[in-house]
A and B are shown apart, each in its own frame.
Chain A
Amino acid sequence: MMTQRMMPATDIQIAICGSAGDGTIAAGEILRNVMAGIGYKVISFDVYPAEIRGFGKCIARMRITTEQAYSLKQRSDVLISLDDSHAIPHVGEVRDCGAVIYESGSIRPVPEGGHISAHILPGQLPYGVPLRELSEKATGANKSRNIVALGYLAGLFGLPAQPFIEGIDGKFKKKAEVARSNEAAFQEGYAIGQATYKLDDVSFEPVARSAGNGARVAMINGNAAVVRGCLDAGIETFFGYPITPATSIMERLAAEMPKRGARLLQTEDEISAISATVGAGYAGARAATATSGPGLALMAEMLGLGVIAEVPCVVFVSQRGGPATGMPTKHEQSDLHMAVYGGHGDAPRIVIAPTNVEGCYRCAGKAFEMAEAYQVPVIVLLDLYLSNRYETVSFPARPPFEPDMTRYAEKGELGEGYKRFRVTEDFISPRAVPGTREGMHVATGLEHNEPGRPNDQPENHQAQSHKRHQKLKAALRHPDFTHYKRFGDEGKVDVGLIAWGSTFGECLEAMHKARTDGIRCAAMKVVMLSPFPAEAVAAFMDDCAAVLVPEVNYQGQFANLLQANVGRRVERLDRVPGTPMPVEEILQEIRRLTGRIEARRPVRVA
């Protein structure tokens, strides 16, 4: 049965493009918060240069919908130019009958190819606004052009002014004067926008605020969701070292953890960060660190110690373009091999990867549970797109995480004969943390026997290696966790998509488009990457005439992992544009695959 997806009543994508310093990202932030506050669902992703100053291009893009979207659209409905030289190449992304809002005053230096109005395509609707003049009129300076543009947008599309005024107040709450002058700038733009005769077909349908069931709704990005997950799971220590794009996790935790009596320390490097995290985990705390690929590379050896010494801890890794310093502000999913296999020796660990912002929250909290339950480091694999993109997320009223899942050694097990690494039926050994009477033992990076003393005998190494691998199988059934999930058509399908991380959003979008074209299509997200849910993935593949794995790395790292675990070949779509996978490319590949399948079908002659 084909289930028809309801078309959202509102589905508008707005792009604001400017130069670093124009307030592009700030305007985007206010807009997305206001829209989420009004009750729309928003997904938004900003692109900015690696340099703090200079004249790099900044783009704030957001898609505003009635129902939560999974990815940005290929085409924007509205483009606001705060800097023509940067915005001109993006005029093409505006759809037919979409709007382009730009500075109508004179511009110096004139960008290559002239004023942006010379580039607007037939069918696109131009709205020239004297942004600078209005800004100067309202504030005496041209710095508030971004806010004038916001006002114009709100006026043009008939949005209420009050939420914007509140949003501006919130943004500049520390500087009352700045807030006041920006309010004036907004009003100038708003009045002109209201007075403008609207020709485009972009329209915001009214939206009902979702009924409150105690849930907390917030407009946040993946890193902020990770922070909420950590706090709701009762994180006790965090040791970290700044690195793009993970830094904001540490920054937010630094503000929040002391309020809860928890401790955060900036260490001298990533090796120290993971070492202290493993130390704190050994001492019984809920401990975490956060980094990106280069930091994970430095942490590899200590993660191995966490595995062999069976220490619970959590490592958040937000991937960026690599290798080496690579592309620090660009999106990529190329650290999967390292997360799953990185380091020397047989060092099995748990790796989970959320696919959206809400998933970041869930995975963050669940990671602490899993680390404790299976006594192992857990890597939560994020990516730049997921870390930085904003979505409207509703959080449960009560944190859905267990406060402590440690299996503690009981009185009878402690004392002189206490075996910290006892091979039990489910391979999980009862723990004693420092401070526990009669629980003294040594945790060591040397291969050890059940009591924890160094032992390199063949049967012992076999037994302890077996234990460390087998105990993780239970993680595949960890309670209240979505290890994988199937979407789209049920039963046999022409094409099945399998994806991980943020790319799954693009896959869902492509799947929905393909189904409207009449292609039978399904998509499976895999959140649990290690240990790998091979049976479920294989069962899904049985239903698919062709399986396509789109991912943002060159090697097809997830496809490699999948093939190694399932033992079957898949079609790959590997792209490394430094940006999210274009939905259009996935769709093209789906069409190609269905075309091939149809050609193979025997032709019945009447």
Chain B
Amino acid sequence: MNDFARPIFLEDKLPEIRDSGRLDYRSKTLPTWCPGCGYFAIVDGVTTALKREGIANHEAVIVSGIGCSSRFPFFVNTYGFHTLHGRALPVATGVKTANEALTVVAVGGDGDGFAIGGGHLPHACKRNVNITYLLLDNGIYGLTKGQTSPTSAQGFRTPTSPYENPDRPLNPLLMVLAYGASWVGQAYAGRPAQLLDLIRQAIAHRGFSYLHILSPCVTFDKTNRTYGNLDLQVRDLPAGHDPSDLQVAMAEAMNQEAPALGVYFRQERPTLGQALDSLVDKASGSRKHLAR
């Protein structure tokens, strides 16, 4: 049976969308992304996750950098800070440190997080700042019209690498595992149910949660990271994968020819906020309630 034979009408889907409650978290601004972009699924995932986790609109802050994916805050009805290229993580760290009561989600792309902003990631991971980082990886610079990114495949041809990309791509999952992120997972925009589940887990995790989301750029990448290719490449983490074992997680992360989806690693340890509170105790001061 082929589902594509039957057209889907919006009216038929509306009751389901309404029931999901995610429209409470959508802003009135229409997304600026191209039709077919994987990011639509991610906005749906985040808005649904906020609803299901019971986080009030005014208690969530979405902080982004610059790039296609970083337009994210405009489409969500929470507080948002659309900052500078590469600086989502330190700004998000500042927001969270100033007010621990807020749920802070940083959103950015592969260029934003691993090229210009790459220096901040190790420190956010090691500090275990209690925020969620959604890395929307399309392997390309979309907003500047299709140049090579740090996760572009070697040999990939773009306007800035017209013969071929001479560089090897980074392995983001292996990096954040090595940096000491306390929650690491991978999702795919083409599998929305699993994506939602992983976003919910990432937001619920106490500590720095890193969710790598594979998402195709339908406009500037017709050959490499397409839905068609990704559908065939992705797999689930093996049944019985133990997310408390860092070595196993790293071994899985090393095989990104066939990217595995799911929770690679999970660890409970004191967050930056807790560590700073313990300094207050050591200095025998009383904790200030920073939220006004």
Contact = CB atoms under 8 A, between A and B. Distances in A.
Nearest to A437: B58
A261 B87 contact: no
Interface string B210-225: 0000000000000000
Given A276-B93, A438-B58, A440-B78, A302 B292 contact: no
Contact of B279 (A239, A258, A272, A273): A258
Interface string A261-274: 11101011101110
9 contacts: A239-B97, A268-B123, A279-B81, A280-B97, A284-B290, A302-B84, A435-B99, A437-B56, A445-B83
A277 interface: yes
A513 interface: no
Given A261-B286, A444-B82, A279 B59 contact: no
Interface string A415-459: 000000000000000000111111111111110000001100000
A370 B63 CA distance: 25
Nearest to B289: A261
B9 to A, nearest CB: 29
A256 to B, nearest CB: 8
Contacts of B102: 283, 434-435
Nearest to B58: A437
Given A272-B123, A454-B74, 14 more contacts: A258-B285, A261-B287, A272-B93, A279-B63, A279-B98, A280-B95, A301-B84, A302-B87, A434-B59, A434-B95, A437-B58, A440-B58, A443-B80, A444-B81
A137 to B, nearest CB: 43
A-B residue pairs, 10 tightest by C-beta: A279-B94, A276-B94, A261-B288, A275-B90, A258-B283, A442-B80, A285-B98, A280-B98, A283-B98, A279-B91
B181 to A, nearest CB: 15
B120 interface: yes
B29 A434 contact: no
Given A302-B87, A434-B79, A435-B292, A279 B93 contact: yes
A305 B84 contact: yes
Nearest to A436: B58
A446 B143 CA distance: 14
B27 to A, nearest CB: 8
A435 B84 contact: no
Given A277-B94, A279-B91, A272 B288 contact: no
Contacts of A437: 56, 58
A441 B29 CA distance: 11
Interface residues of B, number: 49
A265 B120 contact: no
A260 interface: yes
Given A284-B99, A434-B95, A267 B276 contact: no
A436 B291 CA distance: 10
Given A261-B286, A434-B99, A443 B94 contact: no
A290 to B, nearest CB: 15
Contacts of B73: 442, 444
A394 B91 CA distance: 37
A260 B120 CA distance: 28
Contacts, number: 166
Chain B interface mostly = mixed
A259 interface: yes
Nearest to A414: B58
Contacts of B77: 440
Given A265-B276, A271-B87, A440-B77, A236 B94 contact: no
B101 interface: yes
B240 to A, nearest CB: 37
A590 interface: no
Contacts of A309: 81
A276 B81 contact: no
A237 interface: yes
Interface residues of A, number: 50
Interface of B: 29, 56-59, 61, 63, 66, 73-74, 77-84, 87, 90-95, 97-99, 101-102, 119-120, 122-123, 127, 272, 276, 279-280, 282-288, 290-292
A272 B280 CA distance: 23
Nearest to A285: B98
Nearest to B287: A261
B61 A275 contact: no
A434 B90 contact: no
Nearest to B284: A259
B82 A442 contact: yes
B90 A272 contact: yes
A329 to B, nearest CB: 27
Most buried by B among A255, A302, A404: A302
B98 A443 contact: no
B17 to A, nearest CB: 20
A374 interface: no
Nearest to B281: A258
A305 B90 contact: no
A269 B79 CA distance: 27
Contacts of B276: 258, 263, 265
B278 to A, nearest CB: 9
A490 B127 CA distance: 59
Nearest to A301: B84
A282 interface: yes
B95 A282 contact: yes
B123 A442 contact: no
Contact of A265 (B97, B99, B282, B291): B97
Interface string A245-264: 00000000001001111110
A453 B98 contact: no
Contacts of A278: 83, 91, 94
A434 B272 CA distance: 20
Contacts of B79: 434, 439-442
B218 to A, nearest CB: 22
B7 to A, nearest CB: 33
Interface in A220-261: 236-237, 239, 255, 258-261
A2 B286 CA distance: 55
A261 B292 contact: no
A309 B83 CA distance: 9
> Looking at A258, A271, A283, which has the most chain B CB atoms within 10 Å of its CB?
A283
Nearest to B87: A275
A287 interface: yes
B285 to A, nearest CB: 4
Contacts of B284: 259
